[in-house]
Amino acid sequence: MSILVTGGAGFIGSNYILDWLAECDEPVINVDKLTYAGNPHNLAAVKDKHDGYSFVQCDINDYDQIVQLLKKHGIRAIVNFAAESHVDRSIHRPEDFIQTNIVGTYRLLEAAKEHWGALPEEDQEAFRFLHISTDEVYGSLEPDDPPFREGDCYRPNSPYSASKASSDHLVRAYHQTYGLPAIIVNCSNNYGPFQLPEKLIPMCIFNALSGDPIYIYGDGQQIRDWLYVKDHCKAIRLVLDQGLAGKTYNIGGEAEKTNLQVVHAICEILDRTTPGSGGNSYAEQIEFIKDRLGHDRRYAIDTTMIKNELGWKPDQTFEAGIEKTVAWYLANQDWVATATGVSYKTWVETHYKK
C-alpha cells in the first residue's frame, strides 16, 4: 500500500512528503504538474535517495492518468495539496484557480471514486481522500468575533477562497452522495522552509536581504493566524490516521499577528543575526502600498475540535517558528535562487512595479 500526494512539489506538500518519509515506512507517490509554484529542489533530499519516494509529473485534471496511478500503486489514501494558492494572483487572473481548484478537484474526486469503488469492502472503509483547504473559506472576522469553528458559514471573498470553498463543497458532496471516505482540513497561514517569496514572510526576508522595499498593503493592521508548517504536517498525519470520514478539522497556530507585527519580528531577527551595512534597521525598507482588493481583515482559528478529538496542538510558538524560518532562509540561499528566477521576477514586475 502507498499514499498519493498531489501538489507535493509546492511549499506545504514538499514539507509533508519530507515529514512523512522521516516518520513512516509507507511509500509516497508525488503527483505534481510543476506549475510556477512547484519546485523539484524542495525534494532534493529524497529524490533518487529514498526508496519510498517517487515523482510523476501530472495534472490533477488528467483523470485517466490518475486512475492508472491509483491502481498501479495500490493507493490507500490521497492527500490533495494541489492548488493555485496565491490570493494576489487570483485577483489578477482567476482562470487557473477555477481550472485547478474546482475542475481539478472534481476530476481527482472522480478518479478517487473510480478506484475506491473497485476496492474490497475492508479497503474501501480504510480508504481516505484528505483535502487540504484554508481558513479563508470562512471569510473575514471583526476584531471581537470568535475564531472560526468547523460549522461556520462559508463566506469566501476572493477568487482564490471562492475556488477553495467550491472544492470543499465538492469533497463534502462526494462523501454525502457516494460515501467516498473524505476529510477536509481548513488551516491558517503556514510559514517555514520552502515557501516561495511571493507570500508575506519569505517576501519580507528575501526583499530585506536584497535591499528591496518590504511591501505592506494598506495599513498593515490585517491579522492572520500563523501556523508553523511542520506543525501542520503533523496534524495532517494525525487526521489521516485517526480522523473520521465526512468530518472537517480546523488547524491553526494560535498565533494571531498583524502583518506589521510579523514584518517587524523578521526585521528584528535580521538586524540581530545579519546586520546590514551602515547600521540601518531592515525595518527602514518597509513601504506601504495600495491595499489588496477585497482584503480580508482578520482570520483566526478555533482548534478545540482537533485538540479534543485527536490530541493535536501546535508545538511551535510564533517567536520560535519565525526564528527558525529566518535561519533556514539564511542558510539556504541556493534554494532561494532556484525559487526566484525569471517567472518570479516577472510576477514582481507585474504585481508591484506596474
Tell me which residues touch ligand DAU (CB under 6 A): 85-87, 134-136, 188-189, 199-200, 203, 215-217, 222, 224, 259, 292, 299
20, 53, 55, 81: residue in contact with ligand NAD (rule CB under 6 A): 81
Q: Which of 9, 158, 38 is nearest to 28 (CA)?
A: 9
List the x/- string, 30-69, binding to ligand NAD by CB under 6 A.
Answer: --xxxx-xx--------------------xxx--------
Residue 160 is among the residues annotated as catalytic for this protein:
yes
Residue from 32, 59, 84, 135 carrying the catalytic annotation: 135
2, 90, 100, 166: residue in contact with ligand NAD (rule CB under 6 A): 100
Give the nearest distance from C-beta 134 to ligand NAD in angstroms. Answer: 4
Q: Which of 287, 162, 147 is nearest to 223 (CA)?
A: 147
- 40 versus 220: smaller Cβ distance to ligand DAU: 220
Burial class (CB in 10 A: 0-12, 13-18, 19+), 73: middle
Residue 136 is among the residues annotated as catalytic for this protein:
yes
- 236 versus 265: smaller Cβ distance to ligand NAD: 236
259 binds, among ligand NAD, ligand DAU, none (CB under 5 to 8 A by kind): ligand DAU
Residue from 136, 168, 254, 256 carrying the catalytic annotation: 136
- 134 versus 316: smaller Cβ distance to ligand DAU: 134
Site for ligand NAD in 257-316 (CB under 6 A): none
C-alpha cell at 294: 477585497
Q: In terms of residues, how long is the chain? A: 354
215 binds, among ligand NAD, ligand DAU, none (CB under 5 to 8 A by kind): ligand DAU
- 160 versus 215: smaller Cβ distance to ligand NAD: 160
Distance from C-alpha of 70 to C-alpha of 189, rounded to nearest angstrom: 30
Give the nearest distance from C-beta 278 to ligand DAU in angstroms. Answer: 25
200 binds, among ligand DAU, ligand NAD, none (CB under 5 to 8 A by kind): ligand DAU
Q: Check residue 321 for interaction with ligand NAD (CB under 6 A).
A: no
6, 90, 105, 166: residue in contact with ligand NAD (rule CB under 6 A): 6
Give the nearest distance from C-beta 246 to ligand NAD in angstroms. Answer: 20
Residue 19 is among the residues annotated as catalytic for this protein:
no
Q: Check residue 82 for interaction with ligand NAD (CB under 6 A).
A: yes
Tell me the catalytic residues: 135-136, 160
